Amino acid sequence: MVQYHHRGCHRQGNHETVGENKEKRPKFFINDHVDILIEILKRLDCRSLCVAASVCRLWCTIARNDSLWENLCFRHVSPPPTSVRSVVLALGGYKRLYMGCVRPVRSRLGRARRASWARDEVQLSLSLFCVDYYERLGGSNSNGRVVGESSPSSLMFLCKPVNV
């Protein structure tokens, strides 16, 4: 509201049509309130978040922020200890954790899921995430004779479509 008032002050020397513009101008523009925007985006699900990322540059930057993905990962789980964050960030970040592990794990477990298993799902995802990081560390030596082939990925079984 302060902004508006300021604009009103600076407009004294402007064109007369400005007065009409005052009424047509939207009273609230979300991009001006990034903190509210973040609060809203924090509560979205994965698909909506990805869609939101293609709205405009500001939204894209915000959606890429890892803390939003952290919320997604730990959504139905009681807040994890703070040490988790440093580990996850070191291993590649929450977005990678979510897209690579948490999402496939949650979707695969689908109907079989119980609410009490939410924490275990995240733990399992973390373990798989760590194993994947370890594999990606591998230099050429670990593949030995397999030259030119893509290195085996322990998460490949999560990427394959499932015959449910």
CA of 39: how far to CAs of 55, 71, 87, 123, 141, in Å?
Answer: 17, 11, 25, 26, 46
* 3-state SS, residue 93: coil
**Residue 9 or 112 having the CB closest to other proteins:** 112
Among 13, 26, 81, 148, binds other proteins (CB under 8 A): 81
Cβ of 153: how many Cβ atoms within 10 Å? Answer: 14
Count Cα neighbours of 154 within 13 Å in the Cβ-side half-sphere: 14
The stretch near other proteins (CB under 8 A) out of 13-21, 48-56, 57-65, 117-125 is 117-125
**Residue 42 or 113 having the CB closest to other proteins:** 113
**Residue 4 or 157 having the CB closest to other proteins:** 157
Cβ of 155: how many Cβ atoms within 10 Å? Answer: 15
Binding site for other proteins (CB under 8 A): 81, 83-84, 86-87, 90-91, 104-105, 108-109, 112, 117, 120-121, 123-124, 126-131, 133-134, 137-139, 141-146, 149, 152-154, 156-158, 160, 162-163
